[in-house]
Amino acid sequence: MKELYQIATNIYYISLFPMFFLSFFFYFVLIFGSFSKRKIYPSSNFFPNVSIHIPTYNDPVVIRCIKSCLNQDYPKNKYEIIVIDDSDDKKTKELIDKFLKNLKEKNLIKIIRRDERRGFKAGALNDALKISNGEIIIILDSDTIVPKNFLKKIVQPFKDKKIALVQAKQVYINKNQNIITKFASTLQSIYYNFSLPFYSFLGLTFCAGSAVAIRKEILEKFKWNEESVTEDMDISLKILSNGYKTVYLNNLKAKSEVPFKLIHFLKQQARWTFGICRAFIDNFKLVFFSKNLNILQKLILFLIFIFYPLGISVLSFTISGAMRIVFGEPKPITLNEFLEFIFMFFITSGFFFLFLFSAKKEKIKVNDIFLPLFLGLLNTLNNSIFFFRAIFFKDFYWYKTPKIGNLKFKTFL
């Protein structure tokens, strides 16, 4: 028992430094995000031509997305909607066709149907780009719902010719559906409420794959990477490394969905982890030898990359800490030991408090304080596995996350 206790103690203290580093970073992001100012671009008579790209695959919920796009407070002769429907489900295709057939605004919509899903989402977006008339391209996932003023708001920063990309904030309509959606929504809200404002302050706004606007000439220059399962991060690194300016509008919100089952959540996280890591590996030279990024920006990009392997320290710290309790000699807790426990808890609990503050900010009902602990550890293990898979294996599958909104529309099939 003493030997196991000593081994656990050694692992515990070895893991303490990376745990402290991660926790400090999370505390810093929490404080920065809490006091960061919102970027406001007043509406004007600036109405550039816009093309909205909506890739979809067996998702009847895309009808909801199209409806929100048709309801825009934007000149009708200034935008078009391009739906890239890769559905192989006959009934879904029929439902979409029926909806489009009965529309009054048929002239606003183009639909692309491909024989094969070449390049998956990235391939669909590249094909849509070929027939786009807009100078600004907006990408929406099929489950996204945009507010009436979305187009008017998101194009305003493009009055500055140096701006290449504008990302809007995403919020989640099923955030309080169950334990999984609460956890997934809170993780995403951490990114949009705290992490992205900090990154954007440093000039590092990333494309999040949906509710994002990019200049057409930029997309034509770099193209969407059809070999990537996170084409959004891949193109973000290319845009940033080439010195283009990017903007995050945290006061412009688009609604979407998060996974509602554990297996779907873990698969989505696995794809994101694998894809982001591969994007950094594939663009390593471009990023870290770029003359357009300063040392601080490169350091932050490197930290984003190594967050995944650092997650292993979270697992080892937690497991070794539990082993110390199990294999330690039973004895009364002294005041010094109690104070040490309190101190260690606070210096290593940055993510825990960031999680709770983010949930409160988005009114996510996290009643069980063990939720971020258990699911956080499970997700950390999942992400660590796929980080190393990204290091040693280049190929990965494309996984489509099921949409809860599809259940509503499927009742009409």
Residues 6+ apart with CB under 8 A from 345: none
Give the DSSP H/E element, type plus range, for residue 362.
none
pTM of the model as a whole: 0.92
Q: What is the pLDDT of residue 1?
A: 67
The Cα-based distances of 79 to 72, 82, 142 in angstroms read 10, 10, 18
Q: What is the pLDDT of residue 404?
A: 77
pLDDT confidence band for 251 (50 / 70 / 90): very high
Q: What is the pLDDT of residue 408?
A: 67
Instruction: Give CA–CA dist 249/253, Å, rounded.
Output: 8
Query: What token pair was written down for 349?
Result: 């609990």
Q: What is the pLDDT of residue 412?
A: 44
Query: What token pair was written down for 206?
Result: 């990333």
How much is the average pLDDT of 280-298? 95
Give the DSSP H/E element, type plus range, for residue 336.
helix 335-347
Whether domain 38-260 has CATH 3.90.1150.10: the reply is: no
DSSP H helical segments within 36-72, as ranges?
Answer: 62-70
Q: Residue 372: pLDDT above 80?
A: no
How much is the average pLDDT of 361-365? 90
Instruction: Give CA–CA dist 373/315, Å, rounded.
Output: 11
User: Domain locations in the chain?
Assistant: 2-32+297-392, 38-260
Instruction: Give CA–CA dist 222/200, Å, rounded.
Output: 21
How much is the average pLDDT of 140-160? 96
